[in-house]
Amino acid sequence: MKPEESTLRQELYAKRQKIYPRQVSGIFASMRITAVLVLLGLYYGLPWLRWDGQQAILFDLPARQFHILGLTLWPHDFIYLSGLLIIAALSLFFFTALAGRLWCGFACPQTVWTEVFLWIERLVEGERNQRMKLDKKGSLQKKILLKSLKHSIWIILSAWTGFTFVGYFTPITELGTKLLSFSTGPWETFWIFFYGFATYGNAGWMREQVCIYMCPYARFQSAMIDSDTLNIVYDSGRGEPRGARRRRDDPGELGLGDCIDCQLCVQVCPTGIDIRNGLQYQCIGCAACIDVCNTIMGKMKYDKGLIRYTTENLLHGGKSYLLRPRVIIYAIILSFSTGLLVHGFTTRNSVELDISRDRNVLYRELENGDIENHYNLKILNKDRIQHQYGLSVEGIESANLKLDNGPLQVAEADVHTFQLRVIVSPASLRSRVNAIQFKLWALDDASISIVSDARFMGP
Amino acid sequence: MLGIPTRQVIIALLWSSFLSAGIACGLIFAWIDPTVLLDQLGLDSSNRLGGYSLAFFFLWLIGIANVLICLFFLRPVSHSKNN
């Protein structure tokens, strides 16, 4: 085995070392705290919001309706959800091209919950050094006490997270009442535990491994980055050669760069990397190293920004461009698809018609010789008011419509099935299978109409 | 196995199948009402949440089986020396 191969092997098989991120303060830390509070506030708060007397945001899976602020989405509207996901992905590309992994560092649920779990860990077990000491040399008694306290708080928070998650899918106030009397349904209970367990595992135990092994975005984000992308970079030209020194020493005399090799940038890193080794895919762009390095630079009375947000071009003394083909193309596709989605959504039909032939009888011959076909007519009224509809059939001249359970009236946000017979005289039938079209329209609103194709069977 | 850490193999096995099961579930139930499936299976068709959940776990299992087979085929094949 060649020497470089053996070091590579060792790295691949390196056992995971527990990371004890050090607390950090600074502008980016404040930004992340703000992001955590806002995002978790939204997550835990939104299900409790009411709108028109019902839960404002409810993905009512049992009823197959999504309610979002007074809007009702049906399974047919799935296309808009996919559109929304595509737009989300495009925005991710766009922002990654502009400023790297902003999403990972400030908005990803993994980051957000890990941050909160770390706060709890700090609260119970203390700062980095105390936590390391506890794990290495702490007495069994102290370990059991502190660890069980920490895990209990984690578990309570995780359970609340799981409860909130299920509260997006089944009315949360009812769920809460049921929970208090221990009468939640089996699947509700299961999903509360499942999601709670996932939170506890991901934010408490897995942490940076989720980013390294589980996140697909982490693997391909480098494809969106170019030399004009803002990234967290260590200015090695300024920092090297690194070395310890006293505050009053002149680094020039010692032949040293600005990096005092204090290791703090490594200690604050939630994924345990050394930013001074260059851009690495484990870096989630949380900017904790910028904050801590700036504090040190301030103490040393050096210029800030030894580690900073900059582009590769700027770092090497060149010029950087915000608007470049990649960014412009992402922006064009993004605005085009957003426009398409908004247009599609605002002009979406508020009625759906589903016509199926009665499968039991191909056709029936009536006493007077006329031919009769049976249909099931499913009308989905997506509007917010009740409608009565008119129905006509085209394609065969003498076609007559007979409704068995009319009138065609459907309440708001409701679906109703009607039985329908179409009767024609055999003279107007050209073949055994005849294409026909049903047209449905709202009697009180001419803008609501829909056409649906069907077949009429003859002898 | 395969020259990557075991935990990475386990995550690849469980996580990729979890993701695909989630996507498949979303796609399938955008068009099919779970009550139809439950009816076909002779199960209580009033419990839609149960229908979604069962389908999800079924798809997850299929995904896991798929990845297992894939991992099996990914094992290096021994080559003869003059290759």
Q: Residue A14's pLDDT is what?
A: 53
Highest average pLDDT, of A76-90, A292-306, A441-455, comes from A292-306
Checking if the pLDDT of B40 tops 90, the result is no
Using a CB-CB cut-off of 8 Å, the residues of chain A touching B23 are none
Checking if the pLDDT of B7 tops 90, the result is no
CATH of the domain at A435: 2.60.40.10
C-alpha to C-alpha distances, A131 to A17, A114, A121, A264, nearest whole angstrom: 14, 16, 9, 16
What's the CA gap between A443 and A337, in Å, rounded? 34
Structural contact between residues A238 and A251, judged by C-beta atoms closer than 8 angstroms = no
Closest CB to B31 among A75, A81, A187: A75
What's the CA gap between A409 and A385, in Å, rounded? 11
Q: How far is B49 from chain A (nearest CA, A)?
A: 6
ipTM of the complex: 0.80
Q: Do A12 and B31 touch (CB under 8 A)?
A: no
Structure confidence by residue, pLDDT tens digits, A343-364: 988 888 888 898 988 878 888 8
Is A207 a member of any domain?
yes
Q: What percent of chain B has pLDDT over 90?
A: 37
Structure confidence by residue, pLDDT tens digits, A57-80: 999 888 888 888 878 888 878 888
Q: Do B7 and A209 touch (CB under 8 A)?
A: yes
Does the global pTM surpass 0.90?
Answer: no
Q: Do B49 and A170 touch (CB under 8 A)?
A: yes
Q: State which of A223, A240, A261 marks the end of a domain.
A: A223
Checking if the pLDDT of A1 tops 70, the result is no
Q: How far is B57 from chain A (nearest CA, A)?
A: 12
Shortest CA distance to A118 belongs to which of A15, A232, A197, A208?
A208
Using a CB-CB cut-off of 8 Å, the residues of chain B touching A84 are none
Residue in chain A closest to B48 (alpha carbons) equals A62
Residues A355 and A219 in one domain: no
Q: Residue A10's pLDDT is what?
A: 43
* Cβ count within 10 A of residue A446: 8
Q: Which two tokens stand for residue A431?
A: 């073949």
What's the CA gap between A106 and A394, in Å, rounded? 58
Q: Which two tokens stand for residue A136?
A: 């290495």
Beta strands in A204-305 (DSSP E): 231-234
Using a CB-CB cut-off of 8 Å, the residues of chain A touching B25 are none
What's the CA gap between A310 and A305, in Å, rounded? 10
Token look-up 């020039």 returns A252
Is A233 a member of any domain?
no
Q: Residue A2's pLDDT is what?
A: 45
Helix (H, G, I), strand (E, B), or coil: what is residue A305?
coil
Q: Residue A72's pLDDT is what?
A: 83
Question: Is any Cβ of chain B less than 8 angstroms from the Cβ of A170?
Answer: yes
What's the CA gap between B49 and B47, in Å, rounded? 6
Which helix (H) or strand (E) segment holds residue A415: the answer is strand A414-424
Residues A205 and A60 in one domain: yes
Is A197 a member of any domain?
yes
What's the CA gap between A260 and A248, in Å, rounded? 13
Q: What percent of chain A has pLDDT over 90?
A: 58
Q: Residue A4's pLDDT is what?
A: 45
Mutation target for A interface from B53, B56, B60: give the one with most A CBs within 10 A.
B53
Closest CB to A12 among B4, B47, B50: B4
Shortest CA distance to A337 belongs to which of A100, A68, A85?
A85
Confidence of residue A90 (pLDDT cuts 50, 70, 90): very high
Is A234 a member of any domain?
no
Residue in chain B closest to A187 (alpha carbons) equals B50
Q: Residue A9's pLDDT is what?
A: 44
Is A366 a member of any domain?
yes
C-alpha to C-alpha distances, A97 to A84, A288, A312, A362, A371, nearest whole angstrom: 20, 21, 13, 60, 65
What's the CA gap between A302 and B46, in Å, rounded? 70
Question: Is any Cβ of chain B less than 8 angstroms from the Cβ of A75?
Answer: yes
Structural contact between residues A104 and A28, judged by C-beta atoms closer than 8 angstroms = no
Q: How far is A295 from chain B (nearest CA, A)?
A: 37
More confident residue, A348 or A40: A40
Q: Residue A5's pLDDT is what?
A: 46
- Helices A186-199 and B48-74: angle between axes, nearest 10 degrees: 40
Closest CB to A213 among B7, B27, B31: B7
Q: State which of A201, A223, A245 marks the end of a domain.
A: A223
Least confident of A210-214, A219-223, A433-437, B3-7: B3-7
Q: Residue A15's pLDDT is what?
A: 61
Q: Which residues 35-74 on chain B approach chain A with CB closer than 8 angstroms?
A: 47-50, 52-53
B31: Cβ–Cβ under 8 A, 6 or more apart, which residues?
A: A75, A78
- The one-character DSSP state at A231 is E
Question: Is any Cβ of chain B less than 8 angstroms from the Cβ of A190?
Answer: yes
Is A231 a member of any domain?
no
Q: Do B47 and A209 touch (CB under 8 A)?
A: no
Number of domains in chain A: 2
Domain range spanning residue A152? Answer: 27-223
Residue A307 phi, psi (nearest 5): -110, 125
A15: Cβ–Cβ under 8 A, 6 or more apart, which residues?
A: none
Structure confidence by residue, pLDDT tens digits, A237-271: 999 899 999 988 888 889 999 999 999 999 999 99
What's the CA gap between A79 and A96, in Å, rounded? 26
C-alpha to C-alpha distances, A273 to A33, A280, A282, A287, nearest whole angstrom: 22, 8, 7, 12
Question: Is any Cβ of chain B less than 8 angstroms from the Cβ of A214?
Answer: yes
Helix (H, G, I), strand (E, B), or coil: what is residue A359?
coil
Q: Do B30 and A75 touch (CB under 8 A)?
A: yes
Is A281 a member of any domain?
no
Helix (H, G, I), strand (E, B), or coil: what is residue A414?
strand
Residues A356 and A213 in one domain: no
Q: Do B4 and A170 touch (CB under 8 A)?
A: no
Residues A46 and A194 in one domain: yes
Using a CB-CB cut-off of 8 Å, the residues of chain A touching B26 are 78, 81
Count Cβ–Cβ pairs < 8 Å, chain A vs chain B.
41
Least confident of A206-220, A275-289, A347-361: A347-361
Is A369 a member of any domain?
yes
Q: State which of A169, A198, A223 marks the end of a domain.
A: A223
Using a CB-CB cut-off of 8 Å, the residues of chain A touching B27 are 78
